[in-house]
């Protein structure tokens, strides 16, 4: 009963969080997004390679998650006690929360891009129409293709999912600050190079945060159900 109430409360909070998120995205769409994109283009931050390098931290995160899945599968198949144990003091299960958050966030951000179908701030692939290059701006609902995939920001989604799942899974570890620095670097690089609008990043951050919160909450729920059984054995 208690777990049911907790899950219901979490779902209600998730829905309520959509209100300020949608409001911020709307405000950005009509005012901040175009202004900021043109300002960034004028300042030509692309001349500094560090911003582009920062966006590739997402590639490192995804490669790490793949390697961790391989390690976890090996540990599980070899019946390593640290892996099979539900003890939260070990690192295997908390890091699995992080890997799961990354994998699920990738799936969800890809699923959301087609329904929204937003043009990119700048032209950078296959001569895509963009605000900076063609003054093409807006959402084109349920349009597929790379030229319509600006919203939500997938890089931000993955970065925030990594950051928050790491923060929640290791509440007393200094390593959680690594996730914060990585997420900030990724978002800064995306905005500085005009890869995404501010609204794209806000949406991506919301998706990544929700995924991480639900993944960690699900693990805690399962731990509470398993613990009494283990204690009887």
**pLDDT for the residue 91:** 75
**pLDDT for the residue 186:** 98
**pLDDT for the residue 231:** 43
Which of 148, 152, 127 shows the shortest CA–CA distance to 139?
148
Which of 114, 193, 105 shows the shortest CA–CA distance to 154?
105
Question: Residue 166 half-sphere exposure, CB side, CA atoms within 13 Å?
Answer: 20
**Each residue of 67-97: pLDDT tens digit?**
999 988 887 777 655 555 555 556 778 899 9
**pLDDT for the residue 117:** 94
**pLDDT for the residue 105:** 97
pTM for the model stands at: 0.90
Low-confidence ranges of the chain (pLDDT < 70): 1-6, 79-90, 223-233
**pLDDT for the residue 58:** 97
**pLDDT for the residue 125:** 80
The β-bridge partners of 38 are none
For residues 29 and 199, give the distance between their C-alpha atoms in angstroms, rounded to a whole number: 7
**pLDDT for the residue 85:** 53
Retrieve residue 24's tokens.
Answer: 């911020």
Structural domain spans, the chain: 2-232
């Amino acid at each position: 009963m208690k777990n049911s109430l907790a899950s219901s409360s979490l779902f209600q909070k998730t829905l309520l969080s959509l209100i300020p998120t949608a409001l911020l995205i709307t405000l950005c769409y009509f005012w901040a997004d175009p202004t900021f994109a043109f300002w960034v283009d004028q300042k030509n931050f692309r001349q500094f390679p560090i911003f582009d390098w920062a966006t590739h931290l997402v590639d490192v995160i995804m490669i790490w998650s793949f390697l961790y899945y391989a390690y976890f599968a090996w540990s599980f198949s070899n019946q390593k006690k640290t892996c099979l144990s539900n003890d939260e003091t070990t690192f295997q299960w908390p890091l699995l929360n992080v890997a799961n958050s990354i994998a699920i966030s990738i799936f969800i951000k890809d699923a959301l891009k087609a329904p929204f179908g937003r043009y990119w701030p700048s032209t950078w692939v296959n001569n895509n129409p963009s605000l900076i290059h063609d003054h093409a701006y807006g959402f084109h609902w349920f349009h597929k293709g790379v030229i319509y995939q600006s919203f939500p920001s997938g890089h931000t989604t993955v970065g925030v999912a990594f950051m928050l799942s790491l923060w929640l899974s290791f509440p007393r570890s200094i390593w959680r600050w690594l996730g914060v620095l990585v997420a900030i670097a990724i978002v800064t690089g995306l905005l500085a190079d005009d890869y995404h609008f501010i609204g794209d990043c806000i949406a991506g951050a919301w998706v990544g945060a929700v995924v991480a919160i639900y993944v960690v909450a699900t693990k805690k729920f399962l731990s509470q159900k398993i613990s009494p059984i283990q204690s009887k054995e």
